[in-house]
Structure 1
């Protein structure tokens, strides 16, 4: 990975978040012997649909395909922690954004999986396998979003920061890209406010939208395609969610 992908910054964390991050760093996990009826239930939403597949990568792959691959990895990682994972939009056919959280009203947490792009003005052209594709190598890295219209903003921010902290401890790099337009809820962990995201404010539970990386970036796209890296990222996301929810009980 090029040095240009690296991003580090310092920012304050409220005392409560520092405690949570410390718990995550210690490798906290959900009790594997808990009764299945008591296990937390996490909704994992696959962003976009087959018909409206989102952004297109630098090599022509749809965002929906990236989202589905990572969502399946996150669901598997949650189940390994004895957390019940429920896929939303598994068939890629739920067009209504409001319908997604409506399918899982009793879930304890709602996570929507996406992959990022860049603005039209930043795109360049290149040839890939005989076809002209568009790319931008300016931005790379993950980011997270919460909505102040969500009924549990505090827990949404807490879980987003916990996920972000876990990812950064594992070596994943966040991006500054979205700070140009979206206010930070926590700069250090690339958590932004995006109040009008329907899947976040229509959720009845804490909710976070996760952008796993910029698929228009030619180097990062290749990393985001790697199953082993997806599994590592998914494991850190799942551990962060489990720790955040367990700490609030």
Structure 2
């Protein structure tokens, strides 16, 4: 009886071991952070729209694009109520990658005024284009930069043009793909995983603002970002 029991237990353990080993690895988990909050909605576009609104639209499309590629996603600050920048990456400690979605503005001294639909707004048509930031204080700088470069390469392959605006103050980590160092960005250096801040474009630029509001273009940009992230994460598996 004891021999039969031992044989049965061993058979169960072997079966369980085989099942666990055969279990497919879970797809990578990407945390998509919506930049800014309801109380501090960021820059105001050339036609009076908040940056938060732009960020929400692109972040939502990015999560769908990542899911179509088979990656798992979690949307951080989807309601615009997470005030603490430190809390954003800390809320997703199990994520394999953290990307914070933003839209860019310009310095006050570069702004001009114009009238749009009966209201006065500020604008600057000097700069347009996307850019990215990584932090040397992030524990996964190498992978952060690799993902930034992969995203940048895909963006340019799909016809999106980067900006050189941020080179005035931020050192390039990868000039070709518009990735800059920004060591003290809180959401990046508090992340325990590779992390990147993505600036989709300059909402103070009157023509680019209209492009950034276009849902079809947002979807194309999201596809480019998602493809770059997927390529980067698969390279490390």
TM-score by length of 1: 0.85
Aligned to 1:205: 193
Q: CA deviation at 1:248?
A: 1.1
Tell me the distance in 2 between the aligned counterparts of 1:239 and 1:87.
18
* Cα-to-partner distance string for 1:192-219 (whole Å, 9 max, x where unaligned): 0000000000000000000000000000
Aligned to 1:157: 145
Q: CA deviation at 1:37?
A: 6.3
Bigger radius of gyration among the two: 2
Q: CA deviation at 1:39?
A: 1.0
Tell me the distance in 2 between the aligned counterparts of 1:36 and 1:121.
55
Tell me the distance in 2 between the aligned counterparts of 1:102 and 1:206.
13
Tell me the distance in 2 between the aligned counterparts of 1:247 and 1:218.
38
Matched, 1:97 2:85: yes
More helix by share: 2
SS in structure 2 of the partner of residue 200 of structure 1: helix
Aligned to 2:161: 173
The unaligned stretches of length 5 or more in structure 1 are 1-34
SS in structure 1 of the partner of residue 176 of structure 2: coil
> CA separation of 1:138/1:77 partners in 2, compared to 1, >3 Å: closer, same or farther?
same
Aligned to 2:40: 52
SS in structure 1 of the partner of residue 177 of structure 2: coil
Tell me the distance in 1 between the aligned counterparts of 2:220 and 2:73.
17
* Cα-to-partner distance string for 1:131-184 (whole Å, 9 max, x where unaligned): 110000000000000000000100000000000000000000000000000000
Please give the residue correspondences for 1:27-42 in structure 2 after superposition, counting only pairs within 5 Å.
38-42=26-30
Aligned to 1:87: 75
Q: CA deviation at 1:36?
A: 8.1
Tell me the distance in 1 between the aligned counterparts of 2:25 and 2:31.
16
Moved over 4 A (4+): none
Higher relative contact order (CA 8 A, sep 6+): 1
The unaligned stretches of length 5 or more in structure 2 are 1-22
Matched, 1:134 2:130: no
Matched, 1:148 2:146: no
For the aligned residues, what is the CA RMSD?
0.9
Tell me the distance in 2 between the aligned counterparts of 1:117 and 1:37.
41
Aligned length: 215
TM-score by length of 2: 0.90
